[in-house]
Structure 1
């Protein structure tokens, strides 16, 4: 940095905060470190007794924090994300629409490892609302090597670290299974829970079918729902390993690709995920979804509503953070459940 006359400071960058004190009115920084001095600032600076200023002495190959922040923002900001204004090397990012927030964790870690810059995000693979704050970015020093920022750009390449995937309107078919429900021995308490969770998204019910434990009829019902336009089929009941629990067999016999029957999540270990014709999810929900407030279904549903094809590898990693503590007062998703993804 160098010391110059205030009158000569237009276009230069302040190296320190400038505090204005007016008795009984204010005592605060009127200009922050990193502020670029304008012509209109000169009288104000003189009025607070600043005849000379320490300013950033531009060096070849170094760039101002705000310029670095713009680069950092550009490598973060993917589809359906809005940005805030740049200030003191910081830019915040916000959701442009309701959707599923996605974070490329590998790229995020690589950029943060470079040092002198940072990106802090909320957890990915969770739903966000329009206007929600997604991430904060900052260049740490007042000036940063241009080469370091170019290195960050090269690491990310044509990808983006963050994006929001809008939720897709889904036509849903529900198949409720179980002799006890079909023959009226007990009331169906499962379907209302499913419908209540679907209300959070744009969905329409194609049809709700109640069947006994006949796996051939269940298979036929799933296929019929898809033929009627369902692009998401949810099956409830018959998901344990008891001999008369036939739902997994019925789903398999549709020809759907079984991604997993089982997940390292509690509640929800007996969850089944499959895809019919490659892109229509057919899921089997364990009984816990009916009586537990939050389960595997709450982790999977946002991703399925965003049209994602979830892999077995992703599900196998759910164990870290996959234990719901069933708190007396549920704060999900503002808790640890599912945060190990």
Structure 2
């Protein structure tokens, strides 16, 4: 690769992609592709792009070209259910979800890779819900060419894939509404429609909806029965500190194992998540009736992907776990629950 004046480049092979940015035309993209033979008629246009000198191919490779670095990195970084561009454009390769599910990235290795300073691999946030075809990451090297040692180090970091999408595996759910005031008809249940709509948005079918009084033995029996009928059980009510609030205790007596009662997330502190074997069973607090996004919304995608969430996972959510309570909620495109 050799640097020459634009006049001397006529008839030569371009060694890299050249980008055009024109705000008036709304254009930002590749104007000339690597491998293009520069024509006399293109000199003025190239000068208008600020190119008085360019790099041309001369058969002398002194490192790894940006396109080759992208081609080498993509299959190493991509894990299960991740697609990527077949060819780089302007040295960049994009990564995309191959199915609907939860995006996962090894944050420590992502940090190590980007700490190298030569490589650039930004991603969307870990644990975000994604749909098929959605871009989740991008890669390029910052310079046009990097040393072979950079690629060797990057290969070491990427011994195992860096990113993946876990598909949703939960297909059915049952709802257990607790509360004597609802059971006796004193007030109308508001949880059912809200939770059914949230689950429907993920393609989850509610196969049974049951209302029971605040009686521990009744709740225990209902949790056991409903767990036999669906992939997931969601209970509501009885999650705070009042004497009649027995839902979490009833869950435990029914055989639900949970690491932590409540979460360090607001709104939704009293959300409790546990498991009967591998089956998620959770108690949703009243915050879900009032706020559009709560701890339930943060954790639901991971639950639906069959991921087991432990005390350590919940504790990490304290950073970023306070909602901004915006006048117009834009969740999930916001920092709430992103760490």
Range into which the TM-score falls when normalised by the shorter chain = 0.7 to 0.9
Indicate how the Cα distance of structure 1 residues 184 and 29 shifts in structure 2: closer, same or farther if over 3 A, else same: closer
Question: Secondary structure of the residue that 1:259 maps to in structure 2?
Answer: coil
- 2:324 pairs with 1:325: yes
Checking the alignment, whether the CA contact within 8 Å between 2:216 and 2:247 is kept in structure 1 is yes
C-alpha distance in structure 2 between counterparts of 1:203 and 1:283, whole Å: 16
Does the CA-based 8 Å contact 2:66-2:91 persist in structure 1? yes
Match of residue 262 from structure 1: 262
Counterpart of 1:195 in 2: which secondary structure? helix
Unaligned runs of 5+ in 1: 20-27
Mapped partners of 1:80, 1:128: distance in 2: 11
Aligned partners of 2:274 and 2:30: how far apart in 1? 59
Within-5 A mapping of 1:199-238? 199-227=200-228, 229-238=229-238
1:67-119: CA deviation from partner (whole Å, max 9, x where unpaired): 10112222321222222230221111122222111111111111001121101
TM-superposition CA deviations, 1:2-40 (whole Å, max 9, x none): 368768845x725x9599xxxxxxxx98535xx234xxx
Residue aligning to 1:150: 152
Residue in structure 1 matched with residue 48 of structure 2 by the alignment:
none
- Partner residue of 2:198? 197
- The answer on whether the counterparts of 1:61 and 1:147 sit within 8 Å (CA) in structure 2 is no
Q: Following the alignment from structure 1 to structure 2, what is the Cα–Cα distance between the partners of residues 29 and 241?
A: 61
Aligned residue for 2:225, secondary structure, equals helix
2:57 is equivalent to residue 63 of structure 1 = no
- Residue 237 of structure 1 deviates from its aligned partner by 0.4
CA drift at 1:192: 1.1
CA gap of 1:197–1:3, structure 2 versus 1, over 3 A, is closer
Aligned mates of 1:48, 1:205 — CA distance in 2: 62
| Inter-partner Cα distance in structure 1 for 2:42 and 2:208 | 73
2:49 is aligned to none
Indicate if the aligned counterparts of 1:169 and 1:202 stay in contact, CA closer than 8 A: no
Q: Structure 1's 71 and 251: CA in aligned 2 closer, same or farther, altered over 3 A?
A: same
TM-score normalised over the length of structure 1? 0.86
Structure 1's 59 and 309: CA in aligned 2 closer, same or farther, altered over 3 A? Answer: farther
Aligned to 1:73: 74
Root-mean-square deviation over aligned CA pairs? 2.5
Q: What is the rounded CA distance, in whole Å, between the counterparts of 1:321 and 1:258 in structure 2? A: 23
Counterpart Cα distance in 2 of 1:3 and 1:270? 64
- 2:116 match: 114
1:231 alignment partner, SS class: coil
Flag the 1:64–1:244 CA change in 2: closer, same or farther, 3 A.
Answer: same
Offset at 1:262? 1.4
User: Aligned partners of 2:171 and 2:300: how far apart in 1?
Assistant: 12
Contact persistence 2:18–2:90 (CA under 8 A): no
Partner residue in 2 for 1:292? 291
Structure 1 residues 256-310: Cα deviation after superposition (integer angstroms, max 9, x where no partner): 2112211110001111111102x00110111111221110000011111111111
Alpha-carbon distance in structure 2 between the residues aligned to 1:177 and 1:134: 39
Determine the structure 2 residue equivalent to 1:182.
Answer: 183
Matches within 5 A, 1:269-284: 269-277=269-277, 279-284=278-283
Q: How does 1:94-173 map to 2 (within 5 A)?
A: 94-157=96-159, 159-173=160-174
Q: Which residue of 2 aligns with 1:45?
A: 39
Given that 1:117 and 1:140 are in contact with CA atoms closer than 8 Å, whether structure 2 keeps it comes out as yes
C-alpha separation in 1, matches of 2:206 and 2:189: 17
Give the 4+ runs in structure 1 shifted more than 6 A. Answer: none
- Name the CA distance, whole Å, in 2 between partners of 1:230 and 1:29: 51
Partner of 2:25: none
Q: Which residue of 1 aligns with 2:24?
A: none
Please tell me whether the aligned partners of residues 11 and 39 of structure 2 are also in contact (alpha carbons under 8 angstroms). no
Q: 1:56 to 1:219 in 2, by over 3 A?
A: same
